[in-house]
Amino acid sequence: MPYIWIAIIVASFASGYGVSSALSSIEIKEMSDSISAINREAELQLATLTEQANKAHEEALKLNKDLEDANVSAINALNSQRDSFKSVRMYDNGRKSSSCPTTKSDSTQTTTGTNEDRYELSEEFAGFLKSEAYRADQIAEYAKICQKFVVNNCGVTK
């Protein structure tokens, strides 16, 4: 009789192991299918996002090129203006004399200042003033271009 009990115990463990193995393989198959489906969805999403990123990158390169072209155009215009201004002589009109009409204190008659008190600025000082004016023009033009770029491409309004 003890052999029968041992045979029953061994048979129950074997059938339990077989049933649990079958259930585990079904669960593993379901999990594997689920993981495969998630991987396919992730690959599709990755492909879509990669395509969008590539389009955004190409658009950014185009916008950067447009910005550079606008800057080059503005600098060329400023250089042209600067070249035409190089030969202009600069004068110091002084505080007392100018080409503006002034009124004498004893009459209502206006007189215009003469050019006799005007002194030509030194080449060094005139060059300095012209170079500073040129730098200011460059900065102002670049600021305009940057503002236009930000307004047009970044969604920022004035």
Tens-digit pLDDT profile for residues 143-157:
888 888 888 877 666
Quick one: 12 exposed, middle or buried, by C-beta within 10 A (0-12, 13-18, 19+)?
exposed
Q: Can you tell me whether residue 114 is helix, strand or coil?
A: coil
Q: Looking at the predicted structure, is the pLDDT value of residue 62 above 80?
A: yes
Q: pTM of this prediction? A: 0.47
Task: Tell me: pLDDT of 47 over 90.
Answer: yes
Give dist(CA 40, CA 45) in Å, integer: 9
Q: For tokens 């599709």, what's the residue?
A: 44
102 beta partners:
111
User: Hey, what amino acid is at 113?
Assistant: G
Average pLDDT for 113-132: 75
> Rounded mean pLDDT of the chain?
78
